[in-house]
Structure 1
């Protein structure tokens, strides 16, 4: 795993604690797994981060941080994974989850156009919210679980590869 690279990219707990505007995060420092890079905390972070990335709700990063805190996952990774759904990827992701939700619910696909107005939110979103939420939750749970087990498998394969390299190096020296 690119553990050294991730350590360089993410802030240390001390850096976060020193920032006065992030004082509300102080409870996050009571659990060490919330910041450490180990197989369990990273796998849990993938579970939470991928799930939260597909929630069609505002404040996905806050939801991911709260869930990571609750299940003892790595907070920076879970919050970072939420950015899979960014302003460029949100339209195709949520349209895809809407289509998937209509398929799951066996309901017709509605034609709609997106406008940034309160009137649109109150009328159109009211008509498409069920398939959007069902599709988003299903995809989020599926990808979260897939990420969880994928990290466990990839981490284990990396460790086994390192063990094999060490064994070969020991045999060469002797």
Structure 2
């Protein structure tokens, strides 16, 4: 499985750095943060944050979920392949049960807190379920995204504790190591 992951990541990395795209200025500005190698290597902390981001965006009913997850993962220095791959948890087969559960969650929280549904949000009819409010659905979407994102951390850390060789912990010293190369002709380069 690890070999398949590495093969897939190398292939995606090379496709993004294709010579036809590499010379374009707008593409370089857009993808420069994407090419940090540590964002593509799996380690415990970056995978946990990447899964959290991917699960959050995966349950939001938008079309470009993977794009939003990749951009967010770039910004917070999380594992990009895991963030993009986990957004596919919501697909045409799982969307309807996911939406129904999000509507149920929104209704439960709204009833628990004794909140009234706002009038401006509008209502819509769902066959077999009844009438639903858009604000209640949005509340369920955000809460389910936050719950799944928070569950990603203990799951990844438990997996890392059980199988540490598959998902190693990268120490801060190794992660932030910077190699300083002295300029040519200086005294330090001769020694």
TM-score when normalising by structure 2: 0.66
Q: Tell me the equivalent position of 2:183.
A: none
Q: Once the 2 structures are TM-superposed, how far is the Cα of residue 136 of structure 1 from its aligned partner?
A: 1.4
Task: Answer yes or no: is 1:150 the counterpart of 2:164.
Answer: no
Question: More strand per residue: 1 or 2?
Answer: 2
Gaps of 5+ in 1: 114-123, 162-174
Task: Pick one of 101, 105, 128 that aligns with 2:110.
Answer: 105
1:57 partner SS: coil
- Structure-2 separation of matches of 1:20 and 1:51: 33
Q: CA deviation at 1:15?
A: 3.1
TM-score, normalisation: structure 1: 0.72
Identify the residue that residue 171 of structure 2 maps to in structure 1: none
Unaligned runs of 5+ in 2: 118-122, 167-191
- Which structure has the bigger radius of gyration? 2
Q: Considering fraction of residues, name the structure with more helix.
A: 1
What is the Cα deviation at residue 19 of structure 1? 6.8
Trace 1:21-170 onto structure 2 (pairs within 5 A): 24=27, 26-106=31-111, 111-113=125-127, 128-159=133-164
Aligned partner of 1:7 in structure 2 is 6
Count of equivalent residues = 149
